[in-house]
Chains A and B, each alone.
Chain A
Amino acid sequence: MMKKMKRILSIAMILVLTVSLAACGKKQEEAAKPLEGSEITFMIPEWGVPSQEMLDEFTAETGITVNVETVAWDDIRDKIAVAAAGKKAPADVIEVDWSWVGEFSSAGWLEPITLTQEDIDDIPSLSSFTVDGKILGIPYANDFRIGYYNTEIYEKAGLTEPKTWDDVAAQMKAIKDQNLLANPYTLPLTAGEGTTTSMIWLTYLRDGKVFNDDNTLNKENVMKTLEFVDSMIKQGLINPVNTTTKDIDTYRQLTNGEAAFMVGPTSFVGRANDEKESKVVGKIMPIVPPGGTEKATQTMALVEGIGVTKYSENKEAAEVFVKWYTSKQMQAKMYDEQSAIPTRTTVLKELIDTGKMKNTGAMLETSKLIQSPFPTGVPKYYAEMSSAIYNAVNKMALGQLTPEQAFEEMNAKVTSLAKQ
């Protein structure tokens, strides 16, 4: 009888223990998914859309559902501005281009995001998204400026990798003089954003300082860049059609075999080796860009990021998503699925080391040189400043202004904006 009672008691205890453990597990699971049932919207251009499988994984992991709105990059800024004018959030999580950070920060449209020091150190381009110590967005797709040269043309011309911009000028002239290419150097010169960034990074790579501490243009350095560009145009080393060609088409002159050297987007590491896009597969070498007196010691990133909107009603869930989307694991997956170049140095290194990313040349080395050319962060008047810069450079390229006049035109506007 006692034996039977003991057995019954043991079974009862086991049952109680099992039920308690199950309940405890359930509670722990609930605690692990505090945002279960939350729903957020994510506005992103086509190239940043995660696959449904990834989104399902995120939902299973966090209990948060994500509704993706695919919007053209050009339209996103307008949508954000119009929604913000009505104090509404166009989406909980939005695309934030590096060039929008200043104005979005000034308008107060983005919520600060907290990151660990390890994450901060792993993403060098985060500096473009940091204003007054606050992280307003996390870059998810990398695009920093890197040098490229055509090894075949260089060999034919008897040249070696350029170290300085003076080397580039001399080499381009040599290639043209030997009739190897009509316009061996390529650079955007159209009246568009690509020309402004080219102007900024060219000065940055060459002489370091583009803007003075009061955000006005550094005359000495910017003038050197303008004179360099003007000289390249006048010698016919740059194709004159660049004054009206889209910047991506300008860069394609390298992969079409029409140009021998350029500093351009990192996406051309992949494009140069893609037979569908390149006529010079295996002949393009990515290098650390040239500098003023030696190789550049800094480069500029033009990265895409995502951030949480101020008017979002699900800020917590939105932040969880932003961190997940820019995590190491996701960056590796996004490279596999969308060829998005990781912004995390560790992921980039892993892709190169494992051979997933091929013919990368000095890509990893250059990625470690990323810094922001803006001493006080991207200014809130970036769009107005950019318009003044690209219009002045475009007019100079068309022969309507001298480098000095182009500088005066852009400087008058930039100085007036900086003083406002």
Chain B
Amino acid sequence: MQRDVQKALGFLMPMAIIMLGLVFYPIIRTFIFSLQRYKLTEPDKVGFIGFENYAAVLRSPAFHYAIVNTLLIMGIVLIVGLFSSIVVALILYGKTRLSGLLTAVAVIPWALPPVVNGVVWKFIFYPGQGFLNKLLYNLDLIDEPVRWLNTRFGTLLIVGLIVAWRTIPFCAIVFLANMQSIPQEVYDAAKVDGANSRKTFLYITMPHLMPSVAIALTNLTMSSINVFDEIAALVGFRNMGQPLLIYNYTETFSFMNFGYGSAITYIIMIASGVFGYFYIRSLHFGGGKS
């Protein structure tokens, strides 16, 4: 028995060392930074200041602005992402000859690195010469180029759609796997009872999908909180439309304020953790009920 434990510990050790070095140490180190006045351009003023950085972040209008932007992106991503994922899963669930090909095609946006994703969309929305403007121009729908990214909400809407587009494949695959696990007998029984396809979906498919909904919501939420590359590629580090991660990057690396930036990182991490906790909790209860 003891030998088994030792063997298990031996197998776990490499992963534990990697986790300690690459996960726990940076987390602790970031927390220590967050309690310091630590601006690289002012090396003489480095020192412990307690939670002052956190207080400064929470009081900062720029931080509030970034939170609102992130929440707006999240709202768009959750609505569009959840709805579209289920629709895509339903399409893929319908067994046709093209199912395999369609599944492979559907996965492409998920496989694209976010920065490539950002660059692709940048070409589409590029002012003046962008693909979308050219398309609309060729279709005689516009006389002069539309400036897609010139307003805050326009930018956030586009970013939300792009993040949703990137995240939908994963969520759709999760829903698809979940749908495929629902016993056929349940559908057969519903058919015998005279249930139409809408009722079948509402009363059989959806309740069975609830555990996957929690996973999809977690994924969509995390993707919208962590949006960076797409925004950086589309509008750079413009304040207007700046979400939390861009705000964090700007303060930490552009302004070299590691103390303040670390506090922002911790606040974002805690917020992500809270979202994650509630989703997982709902997954537990939802899963239990279903």
Contact = CB atoms under 8 A, between A and B. Distances in A.
Given A106-B42, A380-B41, A381-B41, A387 B127 contact: no
Interface stretch (A142-150, A237-245, A347-355): A237-245
Contacts of B94: none
Identify whether the interface residues of A are mostly helix, strand, loop, or mixed: helix
Given A106-B41, A107-B40, A244 B254 contact: no
Contacts of B236: 190-192
Nearest to B145: A241
A384 B151 CA distance: 23
Contact of B127 (A108, A191, A241): A241
B250 A387 contact: yes
Contact of A383 (B43, B238, B254): B254
B253 interface: yes
Given A81-B40, A84-B40, A108-B43, A244 B256 contact: no
Contact of A103 (B41, B127, B237): B41
A394 interface: yes
Interface in B231-265: 235-240, 250, 253-256, 258
B240 A245 contact: no
Interface string A87-128: 000000000000000010011100000000000000000000
Interface in A371-410: 380-381, 383-384, 387, 391, 394-395, 398
A245 B122 CA distance: 11
B150 interface: yes
A78 interface: yes
A84 B258 CA distance: 12
Interface residues of B, number: 23
A85 interface: yes
A398 B150 contact: yes
Interface string A51-85: 00000000000000000000000000010010011
B235 A107 contact: no
B223 to A, nearest CB: 24
B197 to A, nearest CB: 45
Contacts of A387: 237, 239, 250, 254-255
A245 B128 contact: yes
Contacts of B64: none
Nearest to A420: B42
B147 A243 contact: yes
A383 B127 CA distance: 26
Nearest to B42: A106
Interface string A222-249: 0000000000000000011101110000
Given A383-B255, A391-B238, A85 B150 contact: no
Contacts of A395: 240
Considering residues B42, B236, B255, B256, which has the most beta carbons from chain A within 10 angstroms of its beta carbon? B256
Contacts of B41: 103, 106-107, 380-381
Contacts of B77: none
A103 B41 CA distance: 5
Interface string B63-83: 000000000000000000000
A380 B255 CA distance: 10
Contacts of A398: 150-151
Contacts of B151: 398
A103 B254 CA distance: 11
B88 interface: no
A107 B151 CA distance: 37
Contacts of B213: none
Contact of B235 (A106, A191, A239, A384): A191
Interface string B206-241: 000000000000000000000000000001111110
A103 B147 CA distance: 35
Contacts of B240: 191, 391, 394-395
A81 B147 contact: no
Contacts of B239: 191, 387, 391
Contacts of B147: 240-241, 243-244
A191 B255 contact: no
Nearest to A103: B41
Nearest to A397: B150
A44 B250 CA distance: 23
Interface string B164-198: 00000000000000000000000000000000000
B97 to A, nearest CB: 44
Interface of B: 40-43, 127-128, 145, 147, 149-151, 235-240, 250, 253-256, 258
25 contacts: A81-B40, A84-B40, A85-B258, A106-B41, A107-B43, A107-B256, A190-B236, A191-B236, A191-B237, A191-B240, A192-B237, A239-B128, A241-B127, A243-B147, A243-B150, A244-B127, A244-B147, A244-B149, A244-B235, A245-B127, A383-B254, A383-B255, A387-B254, A394-B240, A398-B150
The 8 A-B pairs with the shortest beta carbon distances in the complex, nearest first, are: A191-B238, A241-B127, A241-B128, A244-B127, A391-B239, A103-B41, A106-B41, A380-B41
Given A190-B236, A239-B128, A387-B255, 11 more contacts: A85-B40, A107-B40, A191-B235, A241-B127, A244-B147, A244-B235, A383-B255, A384-B254, A387-B250, A387-B254, A394-B240
